[in-house]
Structures are given as structure tokens and as C-alpha cells.
């Protein structure tokens, strides 16, 4: 029953899955990791993006990746608005606001979930594209092409964001605001505007990530609950705000989930990310590559 081939297959699929997890988590790595916003609604935004892609794919037969790209500007604006609201009502008010900020995003997540249910129903939804449903064979191993597509796009997306944050002027400004907001203010920049922009970017990335989510597997309205564990696990394990750490942590999670799935079956899979998250929080809260 157990064989090296089986394990090797699980590891390969785990790496592919892990890169996909990196793509759905990088946004949170910016919004929570760099900006310290308790963005519990991140996975709900992600699922919302998937439904946006589904709608475009269903009504206009647009390729899911293109559809993801198309909703990106909309999500950018959405992110700007969300951060502005959060900042005006919570960040400005100080101490007690932290509790309410968390409750605020929790409430937003629920509203999105229910709105999706009211609009699309509770059934699973999936997209159609030429690369979905086929698979490649390597000897004993079969790898679905949808996984490979998601892997390639996810890797590109994560790399682009890493380059953006380290090479461009605005990217450096975002990292600067995460390091020392006050210093930035003294230099005459407006930290709130930079953070708002960064939150916009973090949300815009979800357009593509949402497309990947629905390419990899069908989505349902309450899928965000499972992804609370996965995304926060990845971001915390990575060390808050580290993009390369995000990739490494995501691959670790992907491989762990894939191996457990192969050895013990699907019923244990949901607990993996949460157990790893608890472990990391208890043992090494600063993450693998903590700042």
C-alpha cells in the first residue's frame, strides 16, 4: 500500500499545491504581514474573486485567467475602500480599536459569504477552459494540467510581487512604511496613502489568486473558512511580510497536506494547516524568516 513512488508523487503534487498556496497568501502577507491589518476577511475576498471569475467565464466564456486579470482593477479599488474605512474607524481611534477591527473584518467576511450564497446558491461552481480536465503522465504519476497552470501562474505572480516590493520606488515605500511609519511621516510622505495603496495592491492580487482557486478545484461559498487556516498559517510561518518566506512556508504546507492526504485520507486534511499554525504560533511566533 505504501511505496516510494506514492510518496514521491505526493511530494511533487505538494510542491505544486504549495506554490498555489503562496499565490493565495501573498496578498495577506502584505496586508497583515507588512501593514498589521487584522485582515480575517482576506479568504472571503479570495472566494469572492473566484465567483467573479466564474461569472465572467459562465456568461462570456472568457478564459478564467483573463477574467481574473479583468477583475483586478475592481479589486484594487475595493481594497482602497476597505483600507480607508478600516483606517478612519479603527486605526485613528487607538487602543480599544484592535478588538473591534478584528470583529469588523470577521463581520465583512460573513457578509460576503452570505451575499455569495444569496446570489449563487450553496452548490459548487467551476469554470471551463481548454487546460482543465486533462492531465500529463510521467511514468506512474499523473499530474493534472490545471495544477501545472496554477503552479506556473502562482510562481510568476509571487515573483512579480517580490520584485515589485524590492525594486520599485512604491514597493520600497511600502516596506518603509511597515518598518517605521513615523520616520516616513517626518520625511514628508503620507504613510496612510502608502498603506492604502499597498492594501489596494494586496487586494488586487486576489483577482488572479481567485482565478487560480477556481481553476484548481470547484469553489463553494464557505470555502473561505478552510483558507483562513491556510493563508494565516503560511503568512505566520513565513515571518510576517516576507515574500520569499511566504513561498517556502506555502510549499511546506502544500507538501504536508499532500502527504497526509495520501497516507491518512481526505478527512484529516482540513486540520493540517490549522495544526501547523498553532504549532508555529506556540513555538516560533516570529516565523521562519521573521523580521
Partner 1 sequence: MTGHRNSIIFWGGVAVFLVAVLTMTQIVRNEYPFFAGYVILQFIALAVAWSILGGYAGYVNFGTNAFFGVGVYTAVALFKATGAPLVVQIAAAAVVGMTLGFGVGLLTLRMRGIFFSIATIALAIIIETFVMNWRFVGGAAGIQIQRPPVMAPFDSYVKMLFFVQAILAVTAISIARYIQNSKVGRGLQALRDDELAAECTGVPTLKLKLIACMISGALISAAGAPAAMYLQYADPFSAFNLTYSVSALAMALIGGTAHWIGPVLGAILLGSTQQFLAVTISSEVNVLVLGIMLVLFVVGAPKGIIGLLRPRYRLRAGGKP
Residue from 60, 85, 183, 185 binding partner 1 (CB under 8 A) = 85
Residue from 77, 111, 160, 263 binding partner 1 (CB under 8 A) = 111
Residue from 155, 281, 288, 289 binding partner 1 (CB under 8 A) = 281
- Stretch 4-33 residues interacting with partner 1 (CB under 8 A): 32
144 pairs with which residues across the strands? 135
Looking from the CA of 143 toward its CB, the CA atoms found within 13 Å total 18
219 pairs with which residues across the strands? 125
Residue from 148, 275, 288, 289 binding partner 1 (CB under 8 A) = 275
Beta strands 141-144 and 135-138 are antiparallel
Residues 6+ apart with CB under 8 A from 206: 24, 27, 42, 45, 46, 49, 75
Residue from 73, 170, 180, 268 binding partner 1 (CB under 8 A) = 268
Residue from 11, 66, 74, 115 binding partner 1 (CB under 8 A) = 115
In angstroms, the first-to-last Cα distance of the chain is: 43
Site string for partner 1, 203-232 (x = CB under 8 A): ----------------------x--xx--x
Q: Does 98 bind partner 1 (CB under 8 A)?
A: yes
Q: Does 278 bind partner 1 (CB under 8 A)?
A: yes
Q: Does 124 bind partner 1 (CB under 8 A)?
A: no
DSSP 8-class letter at 267: G
Per-residue burial over 29-59, b if 16 or more Cβ lie within 10 Å, else e, is bbbbbbbbbbbbbbbbbbbbbbbbbbbbbee
Which residues are near partner 1 by CB under 8 A?
32, 38, 40, 85, 89, 93-96, 98-100, 102-104, 106-108, 110-111, 113-115, 117-118, 225, 228-229, 232, 236, 267-268, 270-271, 274-275, 277-278, 281-282, 285
Amino acid at each position: 500500500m505504501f511505496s516510494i513512488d506514492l510518496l514521491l508523487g505526493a511530494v511533487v503534487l505538494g510542491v505544486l499545491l504549495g506554490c498555489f498556496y503562496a499565490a493565495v497568501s501573498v496578498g495577506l502577507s502584505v496586508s497583515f504581514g507588512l501593514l498589521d491589518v487584522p485582515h480575517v476577511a482576506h479568504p472571503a475576498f479570495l472566494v469572492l474573486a473566484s465567483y467573479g471569475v466564474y461569472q465572467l467565464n459562465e456568461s462570456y466564456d472568457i478564459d478564467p485567467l483573463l477574467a481574473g486579470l479583468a477583475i483586478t482593477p475592481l479589486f484594487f479599488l475595493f481594497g482602497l475602500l476597505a483600507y480607508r474605512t478600516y483606517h478612519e474607524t479603527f486605526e485613528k481611534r487607538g487602543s480599544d480599536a484592535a478588538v473591534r477591527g478584528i470583529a469588523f473584518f470577521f463581520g465583512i467576511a460573513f457578509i460576503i459569504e452570505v451575499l455569495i450564497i444569496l446570489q449563487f446558491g450553496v452548490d459548487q461552481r467551476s469554470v471551463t477552459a481548454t487546460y482543465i480536465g486533462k492531465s500529463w503522465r510521467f511514468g506512474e504519476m499523473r499530474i493534472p494540467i490545471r495544477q501545472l497552470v496554477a503552479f506556473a501562474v502562482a510562481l510568476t505572480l509571487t515573483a512579480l510581487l517580490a520584485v515589485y516590493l524590492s525594486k520599485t520606488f512604491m514597493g520600497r515605500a511600502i516596506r518603509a512604511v511597515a518598518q517605521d511609519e513615523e520616520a516616513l511621516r517626518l520625511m514628508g510622505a503620507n504613510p496612510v496613502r502608502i498603506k492604502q495603496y499597498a492594501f489596494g495592491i494586496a487586494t488586487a492580487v486576489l483577482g488572479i489568486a481567485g482565478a487560480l482557486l477556481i481553476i484548481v478545484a470547484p469553489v463553494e461559498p464557505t470555502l473561505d473558512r478552510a483558507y483562513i487556516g491556510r493563508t494565516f498559517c503560511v503568512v505566520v510561518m513565513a515571518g510576517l511580510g516576507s515574500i520569499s518566506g511566504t513561498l517556502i512556508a506555502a510549499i511546506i504546507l502544500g507538501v504536508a497536506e499532500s502527504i497526509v492526504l495520501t497516507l491518512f485520507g481526505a478527512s484529516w486534511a482540513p486540520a493540517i494547516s490549522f495544526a501547523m499554525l498553532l504549532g508555529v504560533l506556540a513555538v516560533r511566533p516570529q516565523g521562519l524568516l521573521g523580521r
